[in-house]
Amino acid sequence: MVQRQFPNPRELAELMRFKKPTLNPTDRRLEKALTIADLRDIAKRRTPKAPFDYTEGAAEGELSLTRARQAFQDVEFHPSILRNVPVVDTSREVLGGPSALPFGIAPTGFTRLMQTEGEEAGAGAAAAAGIPFTLSTLGTTSIEGVKAANPNGRNWFQLYVMKDREISYELARRAAAAGFDTLFFTVDTPVAGARLRDKRNGFSIPPQLTPGTVINAIPRPAWWINFLTTPKLEFASLSSTGGTVGELLDAAMDPTISFADLDVIREIWPGKIVVKGVQTVEDAKLLADTGVDGVVLSNHGGRQLDRAPIPFHLLPDVVREVGNDMEVHLDTGIMNGADIVASIALGARFTLIGRAYLYGLMAGGRRGVDRTIAILRTEIERTMKLLEVATLDELSPKHVTQLTRLQPIARPVADAAELAASRLPVQL
């Protein structure tokens, strides 16, 4: 039988130590975020519907994004045992320079619409974490402003080919002059994808007030106060605004983009060149023959062609064909550090985060981006320790199985079906 006694006050005091309260409300919110999904929930509560949906949404039925995320969930890891791995090294040499983690911040357009600190928060957080930051052609902070926010870190620039080519050329020259070391030549946006959430929300640049937006703003005053009391949005590449994001893209982008444009940019750009938006093995092989430094397997976060290839599924084939000739990077769908570990195991040299970064930004500005990076770092380190690998180079395909739900129809079966259909009698 259990013997009972009066509590000893000294022992009771040791058991009842109260946690020191966090007085800052932003810090208090972010402390509770344990995953990127938690940051997303905070972001949704604090951000008006139109900019949140612009960040969250994808093209048409949003199948490309859904499938990309599902592909990461359909991963089976194969851990080793008894390998004695007390610490792990998450650093990586990428495009001729260091990164403390195997991911960087992807280019995102109109970023200050999500939260007024915008690209400066992303660049500052990247500098503190020792990872690269990528500025979009459609960014809302100047090239020089990003350099000021990340003066000693690695800055990359993402370039669209505009109808007015000289705009693109001048942006590339400015980025080179500012010390950006890598250019992402983006090839998957000849025209804008059908981003239906933006149309349904009436989302425009700059935001237009309607009865709906006013009602939606009532529980989110902090966003509007920040938006109305900070400098006007400015775009490095758009001389005029007024319309949906899709309309602005269609007005600026040029569907005649070709390999000739890549040749011109290679003459202008002195640093590393990576082609972003590659979605087939054949195109990766063509680009390897041109001598570019790398490719990013990406379907633009599902925001362009719906039902596009899943980058994570494409990864092993591309690495097998061109991995010895150039670096293979990957984005789209990453929501967990384990997604990054799986990508590295299957041969990706590096990965990029877009929405995960923006969820943190919307949840808490610069501190929210810091929280995004901290969450992913913890998940990467924990996954590596559980797999019992000490370095990223120790990761290999033996650690990962891709479980697939969407199996392509075998060509002979499809051919037989087409032949059978051609022999059916015509119905009158």
Spatial separation of the C-alpha atoms in residues 24 and 29, rounded to whole Å: 9
Give all strands (DSSP E) within 283-349, no chain letters. 294-297, 327-330
Nearest to 349 by CA among 332, 327, 319: 327
Spatial separation of the C-alpha atoms in residues 349 and 85, rounded to whole Å: 22
Nearest to 71 by CA among 385, 283, 314, 304: 314
**AA letter at 428:** L
Task: Examine the residue annotation and report whether 300 is marked as an active-site residue of this protein.
Answer: yes
Spatial contact of 134 and 104, defined as CB atoms under 8 Å apart: yes
Spatial contact of 375 and 39, defined as CB atoms under 8 Å apart: yes
Strand pairing report for 75-77 and 400-402 = antiparallel
Question: Count of alpha carbons within 13 Å of 300, Cβ hemisphere only?
Answer: 26
Spatial separation of the C-alpha atoms in residues 37 and 133, rounded to whole Å: 22
In this structure, the number of other CB atoms found within 10 A of the CB of residue 34 comes to: 12
Distance from the Cα of residue 54 to its chain's centroid: 14
CB-based burial label for 135 (10 Å; 0-12, 13-18, 19+): buried
DSSP, residue by residue, 257-277: --HHHHHHHHHH--SEEEEEE
Spatial separation of the C-alpha atoms in residues 322 and 292, rounded to whole Å: 11
**Options 300, 313, 329, 399, the catalytic residue:** 300
Nearest to 59 by CA among 255, 308, 249, 357: 308
- Residue matched to tokens 């980058």: 311
**Residues with catalytic function:** 300
